Amino acid sequence: MKEVICECGHHNPHGTVLCESCGKVLIEKDKDKKLLDMRYEGSARRSQTYNKTIIDKIWNFFSSVKVGVWLIVITLIASALGTIFPQEMYIPPVMPASEYYEDQYGWLGQLYYTLGFHNLYSSWWYLLLIASIGISIIIASLDRGIPLYRSLKTQRVTRHEGFLKRQRLFSVSEAGSEDQTFESVKEKLKAKRYRIREEDGNILAEKGRFSRWGPYVNHVGLIIFLIGGMLRFVPGMYVDEILWVREGETKVIPETDGQYYLENHEFILETYDKENSKEEFAAAIDDKGMVAKNFQSDVTLYKTKGETVHGETPQLEKVRDDSIRVNHPLKFEDLALYQVDYKLDELNQMTFALSNKETNEEYGDLTIDLYDPKDTYDLGNGYQVEIVSYFPDFEFDENSEPITKSRIPNNPAFVFKMFTPDKPEGEVSFVAIQQTIEPFTDNEYKMSFKAVETKDVTALTVRKDLTLWVLALGGFIFMIGVAQGSYWNHRRIWLRKVDGEVWMAGHTNKNWHGLKRDIASVIDGTDLNEPADQLDKKE
Amino acid sequence: MDLVSLSGNLLFIAFLLYLVGTVFFAGSIKDKRAKEREKGTGPNKWAKTGIAITIAGFISQLGYFILRWIAAGHAPVSNLFEFTTFFGMSLVGAFIVIYFIYKTAVLGLFTLPIAMLLIGYAAMFPRDIAPLVPSLQSHWLHIHVTTAAMGQAILAISFAAGLLYLVKVIDHTKKSKESFWLEAVMFGLVCTLGFIFISTGFSASGYKADFSWVDKNNVESIAEYQLPPLVGPNQGESLTEGAMEPLVEMPGIINAKKLNTVIWSIMAGIVLYLLLRLILRKRISAALQPLTTKVNADLVDEIGYRSVLIGFPVFTLGALVFAMIWAQIAWTRFWGWDPKEVWALITFLFYAAYLHLRLSKGWHGKKSAWLGVIGFIIIMFNLIVVNLVIAGLHSYAGS
Ligand code: HEM
């Protein structure tokens, strides 16, 4: 495309509004404007210059701040809709989502579910919105950032009269002793940390240009953050598993290729009560009842030693002891184990005695590990008990057949066969908690319940998230960018001698109040007129 | 006196000082000599006294905060009462800073009452010092919550500035949408006052009425009413002798006790509002307008914008960045689409939109003042509705 050559001799890219170098207005229709549009320095932005091909159209669409704001606002409203009723992941697992919403919230809930709002944040259209914001940020930033950079780099000190005159802050002064005035102003500007450039006796004082890059920096941060979010879906980056370990149990940690094992020594649940806590808490404890104080699993982490042969118990080497608490995960390699849940007093062992129904005489005890029952228990002297069937979580099905709901011993039941010297063929007895059924005959012997041993179980989340670094980097860059753009301003003050007068103009990208104060204080004591705010005059 | 009651007294003193400060800021506008002097001569005696009293109040509230921290052993930002008072304190702090930049006394007239409403509102919630549950036992609690509250407070300055701006520039003599909505915002503030009055009144008289009721899952529980039950809970049975019978019974899906409080607040708000109208003989915003004639509208507009610009990064840091770090440690994931988190995101998006709109021409002045007002409504929604109605992980579970 052809370049635009300004009268100052500078070659500007096609589409430039204000000469990059001297600031002269290059576009006819802008020439009679009272004030210049200084956003992006009147640089040549692609979106303002081309609008022919489909690519131009897409580019222009996404580079528009208006479109960007619409995208943000639509995302905002969509996000709000997702909080009307709980998302699916937060509903209690009492019934399927398809029933839950209607059951709890009536036809509105039903509608919510039908529209897919119960999983709003992972819906395709929500992700599409986020993606569009991402694209919009990239295109809008490229469209403005690069020309803006060019322009600010090329700007020269002596600005065109038309440029100065059309700045928001502008004054003309009859200068008596120019040189002296300029010296004093320069000194004061320097004291205010302006960078001074001089050319033919004219001055450009500039400060905080880097703050102009703030938005671009923060947009880069956002994009990195969004990329981090996408990485979640790359296999291997993210692990979310749950690990239940009983007290005394050692279990392989998932997602470690069988490399790491965890032993749970003890699960500890502490609550605040009035005796053990500050007296200041007394009223609150009275009011709320029990308040949890600590959830903790005392564990040992092991690593396997040498090659493990499949099916063999591996050799374990202790890595370290630790206490996993809420807010204090155990970290190793890329993984972290978090305390997330627990179950107190789960049945673990049951002890029975083989006894005579009539005389209650006992012939020995047997203790059954509910997770690993033996087939037979030999009590000596010809007394022996065989476990014919075991139902850890017993119930009767529709046909009144005993079945087990799960492998967790919530409600254990056994079919025992009792062998005694006088009944060598054995007697069969079905024993569950609180009930005994003798299916075949009236037995002479029974299994009498003696004791249970319970254990606490802890639930740990096994988490790996390799995207965190990317997200943290993105967040960090974002914060730098917003701080840069928000807490600093780009201020420029021009002083130019024009036919025995001094023309002064000022521009800032924000915080005009601050710029005005700067100017007032640097011209204090000189014969320069304070620049008027031409925006005030208009009203 | 023990620490807790001392701390409570300091809070009360702070509240009174803010009240006196407001009066002085109002006086600064009426000051005759100030009127005669040209503008630009800086704040007058009234304004100077006003800011001094405000600072004294702030220090007193800081004292409340520190003593309560010592008493509890953790920063007092862990329940609705503590958080909201801290929010109020931060708002005053933000105002003090802005005052020294822009020297606008009138802004105090708008900011301090909002801070007092916040503190008064907070005081209606249980004030017991409670021990921390395990997930809250983290330094990130203090870091996250205080930074987020400070960010919100700085953003709230744009609400005060927005109100001030709108009161000044809107033509209150004509009926228009904007004057209607501005008055609606005023009415909202009056209702908050109504809530405070009515709650204080009934709790001072020791009113209590208990009901047993059945919730939507058919679980029976007890509802303790501190206000007379206009609407009663589902299948409610009065357990208190001589308590009034509810006029209407609510279905189980609705929390009748909260609805009852809302109804009472609105009724009290209406009564107060009508009283004010009788006294003022015009709309509240119209009555306030004369106080704003001297202020420079552009300056107020700029204050609103700058407070968003300053507050946005602080809010982002506190409510999103620190929140994510803590969530990663406490809940194993940095983000879980919990309602409170989503509303922090919404607030973030809203102010991002504000900043972008400000970049394009035309979104200055009134429009941007309205955005400041809406932003504050979003913040309050997150504080009140999300906490009390849409309960999530973060719910402070007030009553
Ligand atoms: C949630 C997403 C976004 C955030 C948090 C964000 C943040 C920001 C911030 C803080 C600024 C500086 C504003 C100021 O200093 O007043 C800014 C400027 C800007 N943003 Fe965004 N932005 C987002 C999305 C977008 C989108 C979708 C667009 C697309 C049009 C966009 C285009 C711009 C432009 C053109 C600027 C001005 C740059 C300049 O003045 O040099 N932003 N953004």
Q: What is the pLDDT of residues B241-259, one digit of tens each?
A: 777 778 877 777 777 788 8
Looking at the domain assignment, is residue A470 inside a domain? no
Give residue B396's pLDDT.
44
Interchain contact, A104 vs B216, CB within 8 Å: yes
Specify the pLDDT at position B372. Answer: 95
Cβ-based contacts of B305 with chain A (< 8 Å) = 510
Protein residue with least CA distance to atom 15, ligand 1: A485
Looking at the structure, do residues A187 and A310 belong to the same domain, yes or no?
Answer: no
Contact in structure between B168 and B200 (CB atoms under 8 Å): no
Strand partners, A271: A292
Structural domain count, chain A = 4
Same domain assignment for residues A185 and A127: no
Please indicate if any CB of chain A lies within 8 Å of the CB of B384: no
- Arithmetic mean of pLDDT, A212-236: 94
Which residues, 6 or more positions from A384, have their beta carbon under 8 angstroms from its beta carbon? A376, A377, A378, A418, A419
Give the HSE-up count for residue B21: Cα atoms under 13 Å, Cβ half-sphere: 31
Report how far residue A339's alpha carbon sits from residue A323's, in angstroms, rounded to the nearest whole number. Answer: 10
Q: Is A54 helix (H, G, I), strand (E, B) or coil?
A: helix
A323-352 per-position pLDDT tens digit: 999 999 999 988 999 999 888 888 888 898
Residue B49 predicted with pLDDT over 70: yes
Angstrom distance (rounded) from CA B250 to CA A175: 80
Query: CB neighbours of A162 closer than 8 A, spacing ≥ 6?
Result: A23, A24, A25, A31
Above 50 in pLDDT, residue B395? no
**Average pLDDT of the segment spanning A450-469:** 90
The residue-averaged pLDDT of A491-496 equals 92
Based on the domain organization, do A128 and A41 belong to the same domain? yes
Top mean pLDDT of A9-23, A263-277, A324-338 is at A324-338
Q: State residue A1's pLDDT score.
A: 60
CA-to-CA separations, A252 to A35, A45, A295, A315, in angstroms, rounded: 72, 59, 22, 12
Asked which of A447, A481, A511 is the last residue of a domain, the reply is: A447
Q: What is the pLDDT of residue B190?
A: 92
Question: Rounded to 5 degrees, what are φ and ψ at B211?
Answer: -130, 145
User: Which residue is closest in CA terms to ligand 1's atom 25?
Assistant: A137
- N-term to C-term CA, chain B: 29
Judgement on whether residues A8 and A118 belong to the same structural domain of the protein = yes
For residues A464-485, b (16+ Cβ closer than 10 Å) or e, as one string? Answer: bbebbebbbebbebbbbbbbbb
pLDDT value of position B399: 32
Ligand 1 probe mutation, A37, A58, A136, A137, most atoms within 8 A of CB: A137
Report if residue A483 sits inside a domain: no
CA distances from B65 to B15, B70, B251 (A): 13, 9, 41
- For the stretch A398-445, pLDDT in tens is 888 888 888 888 889 999 888 988 888 888 888 887 777 777 778 888
Q: Is B62 on the interface with A (CB under 8 A)?
A: no
Give the pLDDT band of residue B393 (cuts 50, 70, 90): very low
Range with lowest mean pLDDT among A139-153, A238-252, A474-488, B220-234: B220-234
Residue of B nearest to A133 (CA): B349
Which residues does ligand 1 sit against, CB inside 6 Å? A 65, 68, 71-72, 133, 136-137, 140, 144, 215, 218-219, 222, 482, 485-486; B 349, 352, 355-356, 358-359
- Whether residues A198 and A276 share a domain: the answer is no
Task: Taking residues B148-171, report their average pLDDT.
Answer: 94
Provide the phi-psi class of B397: left if phi over 0, else alpha when psi is between -120 and 50, else beta: left
* Other residues' Cβ atoms within 10 Å of the Cβ of residue A315: 12
pLDDT (average), residues A92-115? 87
pLDDT at A130: 95
Residue B16 in this model has a pLDDT that exceeds 50: yes
CB contact under 8 A, A285 and B131: yes
Q: Is A7 exposed, middle or buried (0-12, 13-18, 19+ CB in 10 A)?
A: exposed
3-state secondary structure of A251: strand
Residue with tokens 């606002």: A73
- Answer yes or no: do A278 and B4 touch at CB < 8 A: no
pLDDT digits (tens, 9 = 90+) for A373-386: 888 998 888 889 99
Over the stretch B26-41, which tens digit does the pLDDT of each residue have? 888 876 554 444 444 5
- Whether the Cβ atoms of residue A347 and residue A373 lie closer than 8 Å to each other: no
- The mean per-residue pLDDT over the stretch A254-271 comes to 89
User: A133, A152, A171: which is the final residue of a domain?
Assistant: A152
Tell me whether residues B302 and A512 touch, CB distance under 8 A.
Answer: yes
> Where does A326-382 show beta strands of DSSP type E?
330-332, 335-356, 362-369, 376-380
Q: Where do runs of H (alpha helix) occur along A252-335?
A: 282-288
| Closest Cα in chain A, distance from residue B52 (Å) | 24
Quick one: pLDDT at residue B1? 60
User: Do residue A318 and residue A359 come from a single domain?
Assistant: no
Q: Quickly list H helices, A90-204.
A: 97-114, 124-154, 161-165, 178-191
The mean pLDDT of chain B is 86
Residues B276/B343, Cβ–Cβ less than 8 Å: no
Mean pLDDT across chain A: 87
Which pLDDT belongs to residue A308? Answer: 67
Q: Do residues A18 and A38 both lie within one domain?
A: yes
CB contact under 8 A, A468 and B134: no
Q: Are residue A181 and residue A318 in the same domain, yes or no?
A: no
Same domain, A106 and A200: no
At position A347, the amino acid (one-letter code) is L
Q: pLDDT tens digits, residue range A67-90?
A: 999 999 999 999 999 988 889 888
Nearest residue by C-alpha to atom 24 in ligand 1: A137
Q: What is the ipTM of this complex?
A: 0.90
Q: Is residue B218 pLDDT above 80, yes or no?
A: no
> pLDDT at position B392, please?
47
Q: Which of A39, A295, A461 sits opposite B332 (nearest CB)?
A: A461
Give the 3-state secondary structure of residue A376.
strand
- Give residue-wise pLDDT tens across range A27-39: 877 777 778 888 8
- Does any CB of chain A come closer than 8 Å to the CB of residue B224? no
pLDDT over threshold 80, residue B158: yes
Strands of chain B, DSSP E? 209-214, 220-225, 231-232, 237-238, 248-249
- CA nearest to B326, candidates B340, B312, B313, B311: B340
- What's chain A's length in residues? 539
Question: Is residue B186 over pLDDT 70?
Answer: yes
> Residue A415: what are its φ and ψ, rounded to 5°?
-110, 110
Same domain, A328 and A362: no
Which ligand 1 atom is the nearest neighbour of the CA of A143?
35
Encode pLDDT of A162-187 as tens digits.
888 888 999 888 877 777 888 888 88
- CB contacts, 8 Å: A482 with chain B: 312-313, 316
Write the DSSP string, A188-213: HHHHTTPEEEEETTEEEEEE-GGGGG
Q: Is the pLDDT of residue B123 over 80?
A: yes
Give Cβ neighbours of residue A483 (< 8 Å, ≥ 6 apart).
Answer: A214, B313
A508 falls within a domain: yes
CA nearest to A155, candidates A7, A30, A23: A23
Domain membership flag for residue A47: yes
Domain check: are A34 and A145 in the same one? yes
Q: Round to whole Å and give the CA distance between A133 and B352.
A: 12
Residue A80 is assigned to a structural domain of this protein: yes
Range of the domain at A65: 4-152
Residue A197 has pLDDT above 70, yes or no: yes
Which residue among B129, B305, B312 sits closest to A280, beta carbon to beta carbon? B129
Q: CA of A291, closest CA in chain B: separation in Å?
A: 7
What is the Cα–Cα distance from A101 to A53, expressed in whole angstroms? Answer: 48
Confidence band (pLDDT; 50, 70, 90) for B375?
Answer: very high
Question: Would the pLDDT of A363 be above 90?
Answer: no
In sequence order, which residues have a C-beta less than 8 Å from that of residue A185 and are 6 or more positions away? A203, A495, A522, A523, A526, A528
Q: Specify the length of chain B in residues.
A: 399
SS3 B167: helix
Last residue of a domain, one of A393, A416, A447: A447
More confident residue, A58 or A35: A58
Position A539 confidence tier, pLDDT thresholds 50, 70, 90: very low
**Beta strands, E only, B160-280:** 209-214, 220-225, 231-232, 237-238, 248-249
**Contact present, A137 and A145 (Cβ < 8 Å):** no
Residue B215: the pLDDT is: 72
Domain-embedded: residue A478 = no
- pLDDT band, very low/low/confident/very high, at B42 (cuts 50, 70, 90): low
pTM: 0.90
Does B131 sit within 8 Å of A284, measured CB to CB? Answer: yes
Give the C-alpha separation, B44 to B28, whole Å.
7
Residues A126, A56 share a domain: yes
- Return d(Cα A167, Cα A33) in angstroms, integer: 11
